[in-house]
Chains A and B, each alone.
Chain A
């Protein structure tokens, strides 16, 4: 048996790859549920019902998908240009913290709501950008691989947030809990649906996906970024400045992750804590890969992850199976997707 490279990736298979990967991950999840002694069909049913079977379930799934779309885009944009941004988790927290800090400026409270919201979103995005420009700067200036540095900065960022919300930005009315002062009322995102947590951030995330798709498919910058990812030397030969392109990509990627943090604070929680993100940043990597780095595909992949997380929570309450099953399944879907993508590029010959 040997592997033979296809002349060009099979288009139909590429579209089917994510579905195959998700199916395989769900089957493997079934094994784990059986390991726990649970009734398989009942578990699948409860996950679907919990995530999509009620008004509350659907609104929670969409709320959960919102930051995941943005962190998924952050990873997709960067990976396409071979910028290994594994620091979306830290960028998420810096974006969240920036929104809270911006809200502490006294003049902000008197701004009209749309202006306050817009400026808060910008503050969050800029904070995320800055955190990613550090590892990129180290790569461009000293040749330090950005994978490890952006990973390590995640821990620094969370500790920084912990320091601020236990110090200068601590809410004096929070009975001593380390949490930031709340975002002012005029910077809170409007609700999309009454009696739910679903907020306008979803529309921002969807718009971001469309904009990124357009930038990648239709602009010179998008072409340069793709060229830089496919073959840096050929791109440089064609006159693409690698450094400048990567800085642009880093601003976009870090900005999206920062935006995710900003929106989560402005739409859901209202203040910053160190448990704001159930590893949205790392899930973003899975989502980007499941989407095959396609910005519109990110929406679907984020919805899949959100269904798993929300559904597994309610299944876990009903069946006593640890809700970590959702994290396992999402991680497995990444590994399955990598194998599925391989099969679109190679065929197995006897």
Chain B
């Protein structure tokens, strides 16, 4: 029991929570934006992988760290455009297209990575983002190091939560995005083209996913290796349901999730006799549990996964 309390009281645990949550926040916001506009984007797992690779490659090739984040966002947006063209313009199955994008984006990332870095025993590294203590605030005991001694992309993710929340619920653009996901016919009647709006939302959401991937290689770790995304994209899709499609709750969900992950990592080192694989299963099992809890309460955007064609119902 005292071991548990020791872990819970350690600054290291709470500091790790925001770090682990950051890629999930980016990814979850990305999925949320797409789904609010009515498009399921299962391309996330591959887009995150591609973002992780492209961000790393940009910095490895001499680019600035922020240029790496930007490249990952642009790469993500391009895959978003592909997803949008196929599911929104052509109205193809969002499930299958998304999976296809994931398979394509991740294998393409591995291909480009191998071209750039022919087989080597240890993957080359870059100098990742260093923590940037917020002047003043980081001096607060306990809360300071936990909240205000993070890397800059983590602060960016937190700001984006507020920005997306504000845009979605306080601006005409947000209203239009939500209408595209609830009733695109009504949106069209207002004189706004749902197709363009949806493509824009999917591109922006996919850019966020790409940045989430880049956080992995440019802040959480310092190198790229295949399969490093490890299902984080799918977990984001589950977190959006848990968050009832609200950015604030998405942050809460990602935080809760990251807390469990950080906790199990520390528990692994002190509990003997339990296979470590059981601990590693925890994030996936938790995501499934979250889905079960929220399934009945979920208020899914009404036009999610329904392609829009003018004059067709």
Number of A-B residue pairs with CB-CB distance less than 8 Å in the complex they form? 126
A331 near B238: Cβ-Cβ < 8 Å: no
Determine whether A84 belongs to the interface, using a CB cutoff of 8 Å to chain B: yes
Within 126-162 of A, Cβ neighbours of B (below 8 Å) are at 138, 142-145, 147-149, 151-156, 159-160, 162
Expressed in whole angstroms, the Cα–Cα distance for A204 and B150 within the complex equals 56
Bound-state CA distance A320–B119 (Å) is: 10
Contacts of A36 in B (CB 8 A): 115
Give the residues in chain B near A84, CB-CB below 8 Å. Answer: 95
CB distance from A160 to the nearest CB of B (A): 7
Write out the residue numbers on chain B whose beta carbons fall within 8 Å of the beta carbon of A325.
111
Residue among B114, B278, B309 with most chain A CB within 10 A: B114
Q: Is B192 an interface residue (CB 8 A)?
A: no
Bound: A32/B101 CA distance, A: 17
Q: How distant is the Cα of A208 from the Cα of B292 in the complex, in angstroms?
A: 34
Contact of A338 among B100, B103, B238, B292 (CB under 8 A): B100
| Residues 52 to 84 of chain B near chain A (Cβ within 8 Å) | 82
Q: Quick check: is B136 within 8 A (CB to CB) of the other chain?
A: no
Known: A147-B42, A152-B231, A328-B111. A334 touches B275 (CB 8 A): no
Q: Is the interface of B mostly helix, strand, loop or mixed?
A: helix
A156 and B103 within 8 A (CB): no
B170 lies within 8 A of chain A by Cβ: no
Residue contact A163 to B104, C-beta cutoff 8 Å: no
Residues in B whose Cβ lies below 8 Å from that of A162: 277
Q: Is the CB of A332 within 8 A of B104?
A: yes
User: Is the beta-carbon distance between B284 and A324 smaller than 8 angstroms?
Assistant: no
| Contact residues, A152-180 vs B (CB, 8 A) | 152-156, 159-160, 162-163, 166-167
| A228 part of interface (Cβ distance < 8 Å) | no
Q: Which of B13-21, B85-93, B153-161, B178-186 contacts A (4 or more CB under 8 A)?
A: B85-93
Chain B residues within an 8 Å CB radius of A285: 96, 99, 103
Quick check: B92 and A342 within 8 Å, CB to CB? yes
- For window 218-256 of B, CB contacts with A under 8 Å fall at 230-231, 234-235, 237-238, 241
Is the CB of A98 closer than 8 A to any CB of chain B? no
**Nearest CB of B to A225, in Å:** 18
A282 CB-CB contact with B under 8 Å:
yes
> A246: CB under 8 A from chain B?
no
Q: How far is the CB of A309 from chain B (nearest CB, A)?
A: 12
Whether B108 pairs with A328 at a CB distance below 8 angstroms is: yes
Judging by beta carbons under 8 Å apart, are B107 and A328 in contact? yes
Chain A 310-344, CB-CB to B under 8 Å as 1, else 0, gives 00000000001110110110111011001101100
CB pair A148 B111 closer than 8 Å = no
Q: Is B265 an interface residue (CB 8 A)?
A: no
Q: Bound state CA distance, A86 and B292, in angstroms?
A: 18
Question: Is B292 touching A142 in the complex (CB atoms < 8 A)?
Answer: yes
In the bound complex, CA of A286 to CA of B241 (Å): 27
> Is there an interface contact between A338 and B231, defined as CB atoms closer than 8 Å?
no
Q: Is B287 an interface residue (CB 8 A)?
A: yes
Does A48 sit at the interface, judged by CB under 8 A? no
Q: A143-B295, A324-B111, A335-B86 are contacts. A156–B96 as well, Cβ < 8 Å? A: no
Is the Cβ of A320 less than 8 Å from the Cβ of B118? yes
Q: Which residues from chain B contact A321 at a C-beta distance below 8 Å?
A: 115
Task: Flag if B295 contacts A142 (CB, 8 Å).
Answer: yes
Q: Is B237 within 8 A of A160, CB to CB?
A: no
Beyond contacts A142-B295, A163-B275, A324-B110: 12 other A-B pairs, Cβ-Cβ < 8 A, are A147-B95, A159-B284, A166-B275, A166-B277, A289-B100, A324-B114, A327-B103, A328-B104, A331-B107, A334-B99, A335-B82, A339-B92
